Amino acid sequence: MSRQLTLDLGTPPPSTFDNFFAGANAELVTRLRELDAALSAGPVADRTFYVWGETGSGRTHLLEALVHEAPPGHARYAGPQSSLAAFAFDPAVALYAIDDCDRLSGAQQIAMFNLFNEVRAHPTSALVAAGNAAPMGLDVREDLRTRLGWGLVFHVAPLADDGKAAVLKRAARERGINLADDVPAYLLTHFRRDMPSLMALLDALDRFSLEQKRAVTLPLLRTMLASPDGASTASGTVDAPRRAAAQASSSASSKIVPHG
């Protein structure tokens, strides 16, 4: 039986490399952190990256972190919600982060193809793209699919349960709260297992604990979910098939595939 609840997300903290739990993706995070600094120093060899993973794996977080930690005006983020102008090459922009390539419109795909060629022609610029599948499995134009496979391709490995619990505990410490050990386990068992949903639930629980002036414990979580306002303060589903699929995928490892 599923229980659907809505959530008031509020204003999430900015995405940074520091608040991304790398797990098996340490090499990818290191490469991306070094990319902007390398571009500032001059031309670099590896300037096109493609990052893929399932929804909630953290690929958007990584692209947002790239832009957030770059000097003002140095990087640009674009995706399906962006205008075609966002895909236009600008010599003043050294780093382009293109998200959700699998959801780009036909016109956006053409614009991205042209942007990719411009970036390749300018040795002091770079492009990092992300999508829901490896390049050969992307539902995009053939010429764009080929371009995305030219550079370095990384698979964002999903976190195992212990990694997700560690992320929740660290986020709780950053908020100045001591999260009881049984709270992450309960969330992983009864609700959506992707990190954005889990973090949203933690934020809701944090707010509820402040309102109730009580420690963040499993009884408090159950009280929040059973309260009259619970439908507007938390979001989650009990979905055994989805949990099983997530558990099966948690054994995946991060991969880097160089292409000539």
Q: Which of 102, 73, 103 is nearest to 90 (CA)?
A: 73
Residue-wise pLDDT tens digits, 34-82: 997 788 777 778 899 999 998 878 899 999 999 999 988 899 999 999 9
CATH topology of domain 23-158: Rossmann fold (3.40.50)
Q: Look up the pTM and report it.
A: 0.68
161-249 maps to CATH 1.10.8.60: yes
| 126: β partners | 95
User: CA nearest 4: which of 182, 239, 216?
Assistant: 239
Residue 256 to residue 64: CA distance in whole angstroms: 20
Average pLDDT over residues 137-151: 95
Name 217's Cβ contacts closer than 8 Å, sequence gap at least 6. 180, 182, 183
Strand order in the sheet with 95-98: 75-78, 95-98, 126-131, 48-52, 152-155, 255-257
**At residue 244, does pLDDT exceed 80?**
no
Look up residue 242 and give its amino acid.
Answer: R
The predicted pLDDT at position 76 comes to 97
Q: What is the mean pLDDT of residues 195-209?
A: 81
CB environment 185-202: b (16+ within 10 A), e (fewer): eebbebbbbbbbbbbbbb
Top-confidence residue, 100 or 176: 100
User: What number is the average pLDDT over the span 13-17?
Assistant: 82
* Max Cα distance, the chain (Å): 59
Beta bridge partners of 7: 233
Residue 190 is predicted with a pLDDT of 81
Beta bridge partners of 238: none
For the chain, what is the mean pLDDT? 80
What is the model's pLDDT at position 12? 54
**pLDDT band at 187, cuts 50/70/90?**
confident
Domain boundaries, the chain: 23-158, 161-249
Asked if 86 contacts 78 with a C-beta cutoff of 8 angstroms, the reply is: yes
Q: What is the pLDDT of residue 183?
A: 86
23-158 against 161-249: fold identical: no
Please provide the DSSP assignment of 120-175 as one string: HH-TT-EEEEEESS-GGG--S-HHHHHHHTTSEEEE-PPPPHHHHHHHHHHHHHHT
Residue type (1 letter), 170 = R
> What pLDDT does 259 receive?
35
Show the tokens assigned to 114. Answer: 């042209």
